[in-house]
């Protein structure tokens, strides 16, 4: 149905900063509709490049206002036990979408907007973009008839704003499947370039990260601080339950040294190049020696019979020295998460 109203129509866009949501906003705003873009972010997003916010850059380029909303404690509690379960790893895609689309509906109601739309494409993602899954998100978020997917709209039942003539359905698309060739061609024709992540990104789909997060939850460590540390270094769990983290490069060493809290211990080899190693929440002597042995293993003195390892608390000044044998690899592997 073609657009038949002169009323000023308003819509809420879910904007990740990726290609699909960018194109969806262009398809809607090109019809003269006022768009408010909403960008939801969590500790698990990987779409933004260092020092950049992709959603902000897209909103500036398309000249639409942007509201950014962080997902914190509420998101973590959902993540522990999602109603619709996980994908291949720890990605609760349906529950995640229901949460963000529910919040988008609330913004729609608060601002008097007419509908919510996203860059979702039918059949693009196996868990959340099947036809039945997309219907569940629409229903459970309270957006029945008010959730529009412009890139696949012609493959779906018309929404209320389409039926009411608020928007021209004929200007939407019928994209489906995992290929993004159509989107990339459309972006080229529209002068849209420099999109960093055509498919978006989420650490919860990464097996290594998911294993570390699962271990974290099993040990009752679910603060945002603990979760953010999962992105840095090698992670080890001792049989007694303590967590040890070892930096893998200079940048990670600087991050660990800066982020470690007062209750943590930091270690570094005294006479050899080594990573910064952080022992979380323990000052027991045997546990300290085990952390120091891990530090020694990753130092340039790993082949020495004994290595002197400095340790300190919040202060940058070393508190003391432990002389330890570098931990054996077969033991280390048992601790590695």
What's this model's pTM, rounded to 2 decimal places?
0.89
For 290-336, the pLDDT digits (tens) are 999 999 999 999 999 999 999 998 777 788 999 999 999 999 999 99
| pLDDT at 130 > cutoff 60 | yes
| pLDDT at 199 > cutoff 70 | no
- Name which of 120, 123, 145 is nearest 132 in CA terms: 123
Separation between Cα atoms, residue 81 and residue 137, nearest integer Å: 17
Residues 24 and 117 sit within 8 Å (Cβ to Cβ): yes
| pLDDT at 241 > cutoff 80 | yes
Class assignment of domain 10-202? alpha beta
* Tokens (6 digits) for 171: 């200007």
| pLDDT at 13 > cutoff 60 | yes
Average pLDDT over residues 224-241: 95
Separation between Cα atoms, residue 45 and residue 123, nearest integer Å: 22
Q: Where are the domains of the chain?
A: 10-202, 232-335
| pLDDT at 200 > cutoff 70 | no
Separation between Cα atoms, residue 91 and residue 86, nearest integer Å: 5
| pLDDT at 195 > cutoff 90 | no
Query: Quick one: pLDDT at residue 213?
Result: 98
- Name which of 318, 327, 211, 191 is nearest 267 in CA terms: 318
């Amino acid at each position: 149905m073609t657009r038949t109203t002169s009323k000023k129509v308003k819509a809420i866009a879910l904007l990740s900063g990726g290609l699909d949501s960018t194109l969806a906003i262009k398809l809607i705003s090109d019809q003269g509709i006022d768009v408010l873009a909403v960008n939801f972010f969590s500790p698990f997003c990987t779409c933004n490049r260092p020092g950049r916010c992709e959603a902000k850059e897209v909103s500036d380029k398309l000249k639409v206002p942007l509201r950014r909303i962080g997902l914190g404690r509420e998101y973590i509690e959902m993540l522990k036990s999602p109603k619709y379960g996980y994908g291949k790893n720890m990605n609760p895609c349906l529950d995640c979408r229901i949460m963000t689309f529910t919040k988008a509906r609330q913004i729609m109601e608060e601002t008097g907007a007419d509908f919510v739309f996203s860059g979702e494409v039918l059949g693009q993602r196996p868990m959340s973009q099947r036809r039945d899954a997309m219907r569940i998100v629409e229903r459970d978020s309270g957006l029945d008839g008010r959730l529009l997917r412009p890139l696949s709209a012609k493959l779906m039942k018309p929404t209320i704003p389409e039926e009411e003539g608020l928007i021209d359905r004929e200007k939407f698309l019928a994209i489906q499947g995992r290929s993004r060739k159509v989107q990339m061609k459309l972006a080229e024709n529209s002068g849209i370039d420099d999109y960093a992540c055509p498919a978006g990104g989420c650490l919860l789909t990464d097996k290594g990260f998911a294993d570390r997060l699962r271990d974290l939850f099993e040990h009752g460590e679910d603060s945002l601080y603990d979760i953010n540390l999962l992105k840095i270094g090698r992670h080890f769990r001792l049989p007694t339950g303590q967590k040890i983290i070892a930096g893998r490069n200079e940048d990670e060493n600087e991050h660990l040294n800066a982020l470690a809290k007062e209750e943590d211990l930091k270690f570094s080899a005294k006479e050899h190049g080594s990573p910064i190693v952080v022992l979380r929440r323990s000052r027991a002597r045997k546990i300290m020696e085990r952390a120091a042995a891990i530090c020694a293993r990753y130092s340039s003195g790993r082949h020495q019979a004994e290595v002197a390892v400095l340790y300190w608390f919040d202060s940058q000044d070393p508190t003391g020295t432990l002389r330890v044998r570098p931990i054996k690899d077969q033991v280390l592997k048992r601790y590695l998460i």
